[in-house]
Amino acid sequence: MLLAIDSGNTNTLFAIHDGKEWVVEWRIATEATRTADEYAVWFYQLLNMQGLGFKDITDCVISTVVPQSLFNMRNLVRRHLNLEPMIIGENGIDIGIGVRIDNPKEVGADRLVNCVGARCAYEGPLIIVDSGTATTFDVLSADNHFEGGIIAPGINLSVRALHEAAAKLPRIAIKKPDHIVGKSTVEAMQSGVFWGYIGLIDGLIEMIRAEDSRDFTVIGTGGVASLFEGSSKMIDHYDHNLTINGLHQIWKINRNA
């Protein structure tokens, strides 16, 4: 079985693929100081609940945008699973797509992995919108090259900023409001945050299309992407397994290298 680990700024996803499909996924808060042994205790218990053990894991691939956490995740895999993990971004790893920007080393591993996952399922030039700690818009050409993108603050960051910077504004849950104009402070904040992000997403996609005449297919993914389903007019498909499918594809490309 393949263990795929995707470590983002907010959460880290552990997913297991049995050769045919993803059989289970777990999330844990990303903490750079969490040790390999702490990961191992948590992971062992969850595997046990599925009737699995460390010996059932035969391969591992890791993508992370938090370099400080990589040391402990690598030690988890080496010491407790007795495996050498494949690390996205390390020398010799073929990701299956090219990068056409000024400094390819600047691109986060998560953005490239998303592009690989998108290419596995969709054709033509693509825009991938990932709604997480940041909201990213990435352009993938029809000939499989990452061509750049846009990075904006994520919706949770905006909610936190409102609460922390304005003394009288409460912390709110993110939800689609019933009306554009709120009748209370909470409703007004929810409307501003939710519809503001719909405006951000649809507006930026519209601007990309105005600047570039290619017929893009737009894919939505990320931890809070489900919030926008049915509300964004510009996102064509929602794919919540985009990142782990990209990790699986990169593993397949490199497993016999």
Q: How far is CA 210 from CA 203, 214, 230, 233, 237, in A?
A: 10, 9, 23, 16, 20
Q: Is 110 a catalytic residue?
A: yes
Sequence-distant (6+) residues with CB within 8 A of 18 are 1
Q: In what order do the strands lie in the sheet with 59-64?
A: 22-29, 11-17, 2-7, 59-64, 86-87
- β-pair type (145-153, 134-140): antiparallel
Q: Which two tokens stand for residue 225?
A: 């992407």
Q: Are 218 and 239 in contact (CB under 8 A)?
A: no
Catalytic residue among 6, 110, 130, 138: 110
Rounded-to-10 torsion of CA 183, 189, 191, 194: -160
Cross-strand partners of 59: 2
Please identify every residue annotated as catalytic: 110
